[in-house]
Structure 1
Amino acid sequence: MTRTEEFEGLRPLLFAIAYRILGSVSEAEDAVQETWLRWHATSTVPRSAKAYLSTTVTRISMDVLRSARVRRETYVGPWLPEPLPADSYEDPARSAELADSLSTAALLLLERLSPLERAVFVLREVFMFGFPEIAAAVGRSEAACRQLAVRARRHMDEGRPRFEADRKERDALAGRFFDALKKGDVDGLRQLLAADAQMVGDGGGKAPQLARTVVGDDHVARLMTSLFHTLASLDVTLEAHALNGQPGAILRDRDGKVVNTWTLDVVEGRVQTILSVTNPDKLGHLGPVADAWALNREAHQARRTTP
């Protein structure tokens, strides 16, 4: 097997590691590309290509995350991970097995960890690396990595919901949710939302976004139906699509360009959180991105001219 073939065989794993550490598709792709450049340039012949490449992509991702966290301190509004389609990038043979670690909720919990804790948790809890491999990857002793893993696991467990929805039940609920949304059925939506449901928007200051997080089943139901009614009047269509292993939707304009995504976080048989990403920098991997500001102006113009 050639070095290129070895790398390509491991590419899904390398991307999966980088994305969970970084929460960004574009940054994960860059980390994998940098790993390839280093692999191509080295004259070293490692005993294990998997160990060598996993170590390299982990270290690159940790460095990127440290600088990214400085940028996120000045980020405009809430920061959300880039939405990842279920049928892209990941190893299809392990997609179901790894789905929970891909959820936006899990990625947001990982944001609470230091870059070192995050890397150790991802390698150990998600990909089941041994502590000798983890120690080599992050440059710490095995004993230190064991302590980091325990601490990271504790932080993650503290933030997880007590009861997570069954996948089939979750998908069925999402189907009813989007049907009610398309019909403009506020009462129907309200019944599917948790009493303290939230809608969180990430525009990064580069697209129209919510002024604040919207809280409460009635407020969220009314906002969602109003938003979708406005978007539908502009010929925006809703395409149900699994994102980060969760039910969601990609919204596209009349030319098929991506306007935004919605991801549903389902807990105890109700939609707990709706995560809306409109930042164009986080949507480019889904296809050509629409001009959300132009759509916003068109919507305002339509409201002014409607008798």
Structure 2
Amino acid sequence: MHQVEDFEELRPLLFSIAYRILGSVSEAEDAVQETWLRFDGSATRPRSTKAFLSATVTRISIDVLRSARVRREEYVGPWLPEPLLSDPYQDPSRSAELADSVSMAALVLLERLSPLERAVFVLREVFAFGFDEVAAAVGRSEAACRQLLVRARRHMEAGRPRFEADRRERQELATRFFDALTDGDVGGLRDLLAADVQFVGDGGGKAPQLAKAVVGAENVARVLGAVVPWLLRIDVTFEPHEVNGQPGAIFRDRDGRVLHTLVLDVLDGRIGAIRAVINPDKLGHLGPVADAWAVDRELKRARRQRN
């Protein structure tokens, strides 16, 4: 009984480690379940349950990531992580690091790292594991782990964004953004966007998506200002929600099914990036998923009738 209780107490930490290594909610959940099976089937009780479980979920996640990287190389269009509505692991002393490390921007950057670099970075930099614990988890010496961390930090620092520290200011900007979006206010949207803003959509070839990233405040505002009012006319709704620790929203069709998520990166008082996850394979954990192709056909039909 104690074994089950020990595992359940550590489950949030295990999921949070696995999600940051994998960028996938479903794969992280599978990794945690496999960790339980190995723990439950262990003939001996480990000296440190936390160390054993953390090492086990890390090794499983590394193996999964190695096979996933092959699939991601063949992925259709930009790859984005599966959206996460709330991180189950809470540590007030490291809340800023935890929030930044789960953002889509950070997870996209982590894709640049090798599986070992990624695991070492997550364990040491995000969760503050000692180098002895990191070394035991990834099966390398402490010296090798220090080198892996140096390389990982170099890659991450080269592109890591610095998010607004004031959460309330971020949320106020997001509210203004979604108000302008609802109204189709292109000028209002443009005023909220950074000059070099990027709008990226991940459909994975399984849903309508942008042919490529839209770049620049004028271009992004025009695209959003044109499309969203039409979506609202066919009863697509959206609910503001924190996604991956950043302001965002979940879009739903008229039956309440999930159509896609939208996440905003707020930098220096402006929106620096907008990321939409439309691939239905990445949305199932949020609830019933809409047929994005059907919504797209309905949108085109509505436009033809209007014209």
| TM bin (shorter chain) | over 0.9
- Who is 1:298 aligned against? 298
State TM-score, norm by structure 2: 0.96
Letter in 2 for 1:164: F
What is the alpha-carbon distance in structure 2 between the residues aligned to residue 93 and residue 225 of structure 1? 39
- Who is 2:237 aligned against? 237
- Who is 1:205 aligned against? 205
- Who is 1:164 aligned against? 163
- Who is 1:122 aligned against? 122
Displacement of 1:93 in angstroms is: 5.0
Q: Does 1:43 align with 2:27?
A: no
Letter in 1 for 2:8: E
- Who is 1:152 aligned against? 152
- Who is 1:133 aligned against? 133
Deviations 1:41-99 (A, max 9, x none): 1112100000000000000000000000000011000000111003xx51245584411
SS at match of 2:212: coil
What is the alpha-carbon distance in structure 2 between the residues aligned to residue 187 and residue 304 of structure 1? 26
Q: Does 1:261 align with 2:223?
A: no
Question: 2:183–2:229: 8 Å Cα contact kept in structure 1?
Answer: no
Displacement of 1:121 in angstroms is: 0.4
Correspondences of 1:1-307 after superposition (within 5 Å): 2-86=2-86, 89-92=87-90, 94=92, 96-97=95-96, 98-161=98-161, 163-166=162-165, 167-307=167-307
What is the alpha-carbon distance in structure 1 between the residues aligned to residue 75 and residue 259 of structure 2? 20
- My pick for the range that moved more, 90-99 or 108-117, is 90-99
Deviations 1:181-215 (A, max 9, x none): 11111101000001111100000001110111111
What is the alpha-carbon distance in structure 1 between the residues aligned to residue 200 and residue 183 of structure 2? 22
Letter in 1 for 2:32: V
Displacement of 1:221 in angstroms is: 0.4
SS at match of 1:209: coil
Deviations 1:142-197 (A, max 9, x none): 11111111221122112123x53122221111111111111111101000001111
Letter in 2 for 1:294: A
SS at match of 1:241: strand
What stretches of structure 2 of length at least 5 have no aligned partner?
Answer: none
In the alignment of these two chains, the number of paired residues is 304
What is the alpha-carbon distance in structure 2 between the residues aligned to residue 231 and residue 93 of structure 1? 39
SS at match of 2:85: coil
Displacement of 1:306 in angstroms is: 2.3
Displacement of 1:287 in angstroms is: 0.8
Displacement of 1:21 in angstroms is: 0.2
What is the alpha-carbon distance in structure 2 between the residues aligned to residue 132 and residue 186 of structure 1? 54
Deviations 1:195-244 (A, max 9, x none): 11110000000111011111111110011122211210110111000001
Aligned-residue identity in percent: 69
Letter in 1 for 2:124: R
Question: 2:163–2:265: 8 Å Cα contact kept in structure 1?
Answer: no
What is the alpha-carbon distance in structure 2 between the residues aligned to residue 196 and residue 158 of structure 1? 17
What stretches of structure 1 of length at least 5 have no aligned partner?
Answer: none
Question: 2:200–2:213: 8 Å Cα contact kept in structure 1?
Answer: yes
- My pick for the range that moved more, 91-100 or 28-37, is 91-100
State TM-score, norm by structure 1: 0.96
Letter in 2 for 1:153: R
What is the alpha-carbon distance in structure 2 between the residues aligned to residue 155 and residue 205 of structure 1? 29
What is the alpha-carbon distance in structure 2 between the residues aligned to residue 78 and residue 25 of structure 1? 18
What is the alpha-carbon distance in structure 2 between the residues aligned to residue 264 and residue 18 of structure 1? 24
What is the alpha-carbon distance in structure 1 between the residues aligned to residue 202 and residue 146 of structure 2? 35
Runs of 4+ in 1 over 3 A off after TM superposition: 92-97
Q: CA RMSD in A?
A: 1.3
